Structure 1
Amino acid sequence: MDTEALRSFVRAAELGQFQHTADELGVTQQAVSKRIAALERELGVRLFSRTPRGVELSLDGQALLPHARGIVAGAERAVTAVRPGSRALRIDVLGLRSAQAVVLHDYWRAHPGTELDVVTLRTADPRTAVAAVAAGEVDASFRTVTDPAALPPGVRMIPAFHSPLELLVGPAHPLASARRLSPQQLRGHRIWVPGIAPRSEWGEFYDQLAAEFDLRIDAAGPHFGDEVLLDVLADSAEVATLVGARDRYLWPAGHDLRRIPVADPVLAYPISLLLPATEPHPGLRGVLTHLESLPGLSEAVWLPSWASRQPPRPGA
């Protein structure tokens, strides 16, 4: 059933004249007449009767009107849900418990009227996120292309914030009682980061981190989810992992896991934001202002090499 024909039918029923309907919809009166005639042929009924003042609904037209209104309203909601500029601001994050999602949640709490759609592109390849931004499927993505020169002309990348890392260990681990650790103190310990994907930004990050500080980063085995990782840490005296300071992790009280800051220098993951080079969603303005307001890191910081190829992060 033609949605535009239903739209013409609804407005003609409300306005009582085909000409007024045509003027409002920006088409000719003949186009309105043809749409309604086609709708009548499809339904096999007369929807209007002519009067000296215009048109009036037939009994069948009266029966159709509430249903037609619902279909037209639903179509308008569907268009609004996907049209940039009218739909909610749609931002991709790596995970709903990630630092990016936490920062976005903080922004939304400060601006509760914001229409925000937080999504997760199920991909480890940042090129997929670039393509989604370029196509308008998402308005922005918290992903990093480690070679900014590889970005297409329609997409730009800006620094969002730096996420300092913490060591996460169980109570039996030899570093569990530390209140603060340096990267040198991590040497020789197994740091398990399962499921590091080839071509992922974090794959390159951990390669550089391991080489810089002579760390044992173990990516062996598939990633069965955070719950399995936390269970392993709770029972192990040998395994640790690295997590972002803002990342949200929940575990049973009996696990007694410890989050220990790493400093001298701080190991920081640089989080970037991909967005359109021109005509970004209007709602992004507030998010960018929020990112600029985030405090920078006051201590000495280690960053991977690609971070130096970007301009300073907002607020740094």
Structure 2
Amino acid sequence: MDLAAVRTFVAAADAGQFQDAATALSITQQAVSKRIAALEKDLQVRLFTRTARGAHLTVDGQALLPHARELIRVAERADASVRPGRRALRIDVHSRRIAPAVLLQEFHRTDPRIELDVVTLLDADVHAATAAVEAGTIDATFHAVTVPARQLPRAIRTARVIDEHHELLVGPRHALADAGSVTPAQLVEHRIWMPGLATGTEWAGYYDELAAAFGLTIDVTGPVFGSEALMAEIAGSPHLATFIGERTRYLWPDSYDLRRIPVRDPAPVYPMSLIWRDDNPHPALSSLRDYLSSRRRTTTSDENVWMPKWGAWQ
């Protein structure tokens, strides 16, 4: 069904005059008549009775009118779903607990009028997430970029926006529970438990490089029962510990008495980038990039930090 004809039919039904409908639509009265005639021919019914006092809906016209209005509403929703600036900005944060989700929520607080569609491509590493950006499934994603820019797809752009420092999460009976901070050297004799760390992902590569750099034992064995089960195990153990980002959000019962201890001297930093298509015209994407740039915690040359070798590529 021709949507222009449907819109003309609704305008004429509301106005009761073809001339008034023409004025509302900024077309000629002749164009209104032609569109209505074409719609009547297509439907094989008369929609209006023309009189000296105007145009009145026939029984068939009255039956069509609510459906015509719904067709227009559906068309407007379809248009809004894809038109930049009218649809929600679709961003992948991988997990709603980690720093990208926290920053995205803070960005939304600065301007709640910006519509966001926050998704979590949980099984997607940087390559799969970048492919989703390239395909237009999502507008942007947060990931560590582990290859030089020249190896990325031509349309893809990246900007390093997060330098996430680490904390050690331990229970109250752990030997380091009362420490104000710890160094990587102090962790050599302790088991860092990170079950389910997927082999081949950029984060698994990061922890492999971190472990090799400082002689750490990062144990990825065991079934994955979720973060709540992990925290329960750590709370009850004098030996287990795990790494979390400083902005990672976790909640646990007060009885667990878990401790978040900053890792320093050097401070391991996990660099993350925003990844997007350079031809994406969504205005909220530019606003998000500007906000993330203003909030980035930059690492100065005199800070004692450690990054993986690919950190400089982002």
* TM range, smaller chain: 0.7 to 0.9
Partner of 2:131: 131
Cα distance between partner residues in 2 of 1:105 and 1:111: 10
Match status 1:296 vs 2:285: no
| SS of equivalent to 1:142 | strand
Partner of 1:109: 109
| SS of equivalent to 2:274 | strand
The AA in structure 2 aligned to 1:135 is A
Kindly provide the CA deviation profile for residues 75-118 of structure 1, in whole angstroms up to 9, marking residues without a partner as x. 32233123333212211101112110101111111222222221
Are the counterparts in 1 of residues 90 and 117 from structure 2 also a CA contact under 8 Å?
A: yes
Are the counterparts in 2 of residues 153 and 277 from structure 1 also a CA contact under 8 Å?
A: no
Cα distance between partner residues in 2 of 1:33 and 1:243: 68
Match status 1:305 vs 2:309: yes
Matches within 5 A, 1:238-249: 238-249=239-250
1:6 to partner: Cα distance: 4.2
Partner of 2:87: 87
* Structure 1 gap ranges (5+): 311-316
Identity of aligned residues (%): 48
The AA in structure 2 aligned to 1:296 is T
Partner of 1:161: 162
Kindly provide the CA deviation profile for residues 108-145 of structure 1, in whole angstroms up to 9, marking residues without a partner as x. 11222222221112323222211221122211111233
Kindly provide the CA deviation profile for residues 263-300 of structure 1, in whole angstroms up to 9, marking residues without a partner as x. 00111110111011224421122212211222324532
Cα distance between partner residues in 2 of 1:29 and 1:279: 41
Match status 1:219 vs 2:220: yes
Q: Residues 301 and 70 from structure 1, CA distance in 2 versus in 1: closer, same or farther, beyond 3 angstroms?
A: same
Cα distance between partner residues in 1 of 2:33 and 2:194: 66
Matches within 5 A, 1:4-15: 6-14=6-14
Q: Residues 13 and 202 from structure 1, CA distance in 2 versus in 1: closer, same or farther, beyond 3 angstroms?
A: same
Q: Residues 59 and 107 from structure 1, CA distance in 2 versus in 1: closer, same or farther, beyond 3 angstroms?
A: same
Partner of 2:253: 252
Farther off after superposition, 65-74 or 282-291? 65-74
Cα distance between partner residues in 1 of 2:266 and 2:229: 30
Matches within 5 A, 1:51-70: 51=51, 55-70=55-70
CA RMSD of aligned residues (A): 2.6
Q: Residues 252 and 78 from structure 1, CA distance in 2 versus in 1: closer, same or farther, beyond 3 angstroms?
A: farther
* Structure 2 gap ranges (5+): none
Cα distance between partner residues in 1 of 2:155 and 2:54: 51
So what's the TM-score if we normalise by structure 1? 0.86
Q: Residues 22 and 201 from structure 1, CA distance in 2 versus in 1: closer, same or farther, beyond 3 angstroms?
A: same
The AA in structure 1 aligned to 2:82 is V
Partner of 2:76: 76
Cα distance between partner residues in 1 of 2:223 and 2:124: 14
Match status 1:184 vs 2:188: no
Are the counterparts in 2 of residues 167 and 260 from structure 1 also a CA contact under 8 Å?
A: yes
The AA in structure 2 aligned to 1:208 is E
Q: Residues 186 and 3 from structure 1, CA distance in 2 versus in 1: closer, same or farther, beyond 3 angstroms?
A: farther
